[in-house]
């Protein structure tokens, strides 16, 4: 995954990702992917975001994922015993 941007409106709520940055018409968010995890797999399998939306009707290019690193999200997850 390639992070296209961290800038969102409202701030710090979502990130735009590209699943196949070298091929803009392949990979990406598709219908039915919502709620699926976006992992930081650099050295762990930490879920950092949840698939939220896509821009393409052909499931290609950039998609959006809701960030889970904000205080309200972390508090909600902690109420279920889930901590980073």
How far apart, in whole angstroms, are the C-alpha atoms of residue 56 and residue 17?
13
The two structure tokens encoding residue 2: 């390639």
5 pLDDT higher than 90: no
> What pLDDT, on a 0 to 100 scale, did the predictor assign at position 38?
85
Domain 2-78 CATH (choose: 2.40.10.10, 1.10.10.10, 3.80.30.20, 2.60.40.10): 2.40.10.10
* Domain definitions of the chain by residue range: 2-78
pLDDT tens per residue across span 32-55: 888 888 888 788 788 888 999 888
């Amino acid at each position: 995954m390639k992070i296209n941007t961290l800038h969102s409106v409202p701030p710090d709520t979502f990130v735009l990702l590209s699943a196949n940055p070298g091929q803009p018409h392949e990979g990406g968010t598709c219908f039915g992917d919502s709620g699926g995890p976006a992992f930081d797999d650099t050295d762990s399998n930490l879920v950092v975001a949840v698939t939220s939306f896509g821009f393409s009707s052909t499931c290609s290019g950039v998609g959006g994922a809701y960030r889970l690193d904000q205080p309200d999200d972390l508090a909600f997850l902690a109420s279920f015993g889930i901590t980073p």
